[in-house]
Structure 1
């Protein structure tokens, strides 16, 4: 990692919250910094949809604008019967 491409984070928080968090993640073989960095990355990944998600969103938008595309269901039971081919 390039030193010029990093940032140092410093913040204050409730000691009991920190200790409880640290206790949980260290039991799972993790450390505080690594866990927080992974959490930040998951927020970034969730906020930016991948190509498959974008395509699915576009497909739904097309289906909403043209009801002749695809099949609609009036209830979940009907949909599940079709999905499970029962």
Structure 2
């Protein structure tokens, strides 16, 4: 279940929106909240995995260890797309 993103995650929200995705929190089995990315990132799923994201089959979203890592992954995808643009 994707919960609303916390205050202070505006940068991650903006980066995700540029990629057609949304961010929020997802409760882990241990009970703590993990940053999560929801959308259709199939074209950049490998990049998310390089940054340590884990796909949750049950919730159908990508989970990250922390917000800075998620932001770095999203920024990297955007930078890659910008560099590949004609």
Q: TM-score, normalised by structure 1?
A: 0.30
Higher strand share: 2
Higher helix share: 1
- Rg larger for: 1
Q: TM-score, normalised by structure 2?
A: 0.30
Q: Which one has more relative contact order, counting CA pairs under 8 Å at least 6 apart?
A: 2
